[in-house]
Amino acid sequence: MTGPVELLQQLVRIPSVNPDNPAGTEKTCEAAIATFLQGWIEAIDGDVTLEEIKPGRPNLIARFAPRDGRPRILLGPHLDTVGVGGMTIDPFGAVLGDGRVWGRGTCDTKGSMAAMLWGLKETAAIHASLDVAVDFVAFMGEESGQWGSKDFAKHHGHEYAFAIVGEPTSLDIVHTTKGSLWATLRATGKAGHSSMPEKGDNAAMKLARALDVLERELSATLATYAHPVLGRSTINVGVLRAGSRANIIPDLAEAEIDIRITPALRDAGGALDLLEKTIARLALPLEIVRPHENPPMETPSTNPWIDRIREVRPASEPVGAPWFSDAAHLSAAGLPSVCMGPGSIDQAHTADEFIEIDALEEGAAFFERFIRSLA
C-alpha cells in the first residue's frame, strides 16, 4: 500500500455492481468491498460499523474519534457502481496507462473513495486532537434507489454538521443539484388480429399520441420552474415498450420518463403532483406506475463549511449540476451537504471509464489538507 493509486486499484478489482439495474456480471452487491474497507480502515485505527440495508448490501460507518460532543462531519462516497455490459476495457482490471487508472468505478466513485481514505490515513495521528471529528461513511445503492443514504439520513443525520459526498466534480463544490422523477406511463387497449384493427384498441398508438401531447404541454410548464444556477426543469422520454408481433394489436404500452426537478418545482409540490394533475387536466389515457422521486439539493454557497473548503483550495468553485446523488437525501433530512471529488463526470458510466492519476493524487492531497485544517 504505497499511495492512493494502488488503493484505487484494489477497490476497482473488487466488483460492487448494483444489482438493481442491468449488471452485465454476476459479481454484484456491496458486501465484498465493505468487508475489504472494514479491514483497511481498522488497520488505521478507525472504528467500523456495517449496517445491512438490504441482504448482502450494507452501509459502512467509520469513526476516527470518540463521540465526545465535538462537531462531526462526514466524507461519504458510495460503494456501488453501474453495470459493466458493453465496456470496451476490463471493468475490474484497474489497469494503468496513459497517466490514467482504467475500470468501472475509477471515476464514479471509487476515485473519490480512495482520495478520501488516503486523506484519512495520512492524518490518522491527529484525529484525536482535531476540533471537528471526521467520519467516513460509504453508502450502498446510490445507483438505484439510494436506500443507503436515505436510511443513514433517517437514523444518523442528526449527528453531523456537514457532509462532503464523493462524486466526480473535478474538485469543484457542487452545492446545488436537480432532483428527478422516474416513472412509467402505461396505456392499455384490446388485443386483436392486425388484419382487423377496428376490432381492437391499439395501446401503442394511444401511448404515442398521449406522450406527444403530454411532452409539449408539460415542457412548457416545466420551463416556468427555473433556477439561476441549474436552469429549468425538464422532461425526457427514455424508454418505449409495446407489442410482441407486427400482426398483433398491442393491448399494453409503456414509456419510462425522467423529469428533472429544480428547487422551485419541489417547493410547488413536486414533479409527481404536477404530472398527475397534467394527465388529469388533459384527460390522457395514462396510468402512472412505479414513480420514484429524488429531491433536488440546494446548500447555500455562503455556507461556512464551503468557505472552509475554499480556504484550503481556493480553486474549488461552488457550482451546480443537473444530476442527483446521495447528498440530496442527506440535505433533505436537514444535513447540509455538497458533492466533491476528483475526476470528471464526463467519464462516469462510460464504456472505457477512467480517472487521471494526477487528478486522483490532487484529490487525496486536498482531503489531507482539509482534515489538517480542522486542527
Q: Give the pLDDT score at 2.
A: 78
**Residue 132, pLDDT above cutoff 90:** yes
Q: Give the pLDDT score at 64.
A: 96
Give the integer Cα–Cα distance in Å for 212 and 310.
46
Task: Read off the pTM.
Answer: 0.92
Question: Which cell goes with 254?
Answer: 409503456
Residue in the structure block whose three cell numbers are 406506475:
289
- pLDDT of 325-354, one tens digit each? 999 999 999 999 999 999 999 999 999 999
Q: What domains, with CATH codes, occur in the chain? A: 4-177+296-372 (3.40.630.10), 179-294 (3.30.70.360)
Task: Encode 31-70: b = buried (16+ Cβ within 10 Å), e = exposed.
Answer: bebbeebbebbeebebebebbebbeebbbbbbbbbeeeee
Handedness of CA 290, 87, 15, 99 (dihedral sign): negative
- pLDDT of 39-79, one tens digit each? 999 999 999 999 999 999 999 999 999 999 999 999 999 99
Give the integer Cα–Cα distance in Å for 117 and 188.
51
**Residue 1, pLDDT above cutoff 80:** no
**Residue 128, pLDDT above cutoff 70:** yes
Question: Which cell goes with 301?
Answer: 454557497
pLDDT band at 134 (very low <50, low <70, confident <90, very high): very high
Mean pLDDT of the chain: 97
Q: Give the pLDDT score at 234.
A: 96
Strand 354-356, strand 72-76: pairing: unpaired
Helix or strand run (H / E) with residue 73: strand 72-76
Q: Give the pLDDT score at 290.
A: 93
Give the integer Cα–Cα distance in Å for 243 and 203.
9
